[in-house]
Amino acid sequence: MSELHDSVVEQLGIDECWDLLTANDFGRLAVATDTGVDIFPMNYLVRDREIFLRSAPGSKLASITQRPSIAFEVDGRRFRRRWSIVVKGNIVRLGFDSEIVESGILELKSLNPTAKWNYLRISPESVTGRRFTASRR
């Protein structure tokens, strides 16, 4: 029986990071709160190298209004290769109908059936990615 011992970590280029972000639709939004950091699973879409989300009212919206600096993480795997993309930047609520329509966010399907009438845009300041390839000994 083989065991996984070491991992080789490969840094991904910016274009590959965006390709992976665009090919997926589920990630995790990390926001600062009064008591620390909270993480929310979110469906998303990518358009013009910005990330768009839909949200129901609640603590997440209150937190990002006070502290718009966020991190967003998406990960996946293919065969024995796992990858992770981390986007850091600022998040804002879209305020104009034209922004909402142009973003395409109205077409985003959510896995959670809660009504989500708040539309958000993440403007990335950094996008980094890693791929982990497990080796067998």
Write the CATH number for 26: 2.30.110.10
Mean pLDDT over residues 28-56, rounded? 94
pLDDT number for residue 79: 80
pLDDT number for residue 63: 86
Residue 125's domain comprises 12-132
* pLDDT tens profile 4-27: 455 688 999 999 999 999 999 999
pLDDT number for residue 108: 87
Does residue 3 belong to any structural domain of this protein?
A: no
Does residue 2 belong to any structural domain of this protein?
A: no
Residue 80 vs residue 127, higher pLDDT: 127
Does residue 108 belong to any structural domain of this protein?
A: yes
> Whole-angstrom Cα distance, residue 23 to residue 136?
29
Contacts of 87 (CB under 8 A, 6+ apart): 21, 51, 71, 72, 73, 74, 122, 124, 126, 127
Q: What percent of the chain has pLDDT over 90?
A: 63
Number of domains observed in the structure of the chain: 1
Average pLDDT, the chain: 89
Query: In angstroms, how far apart are the furthest CA atoms of the chain?
Result: 59
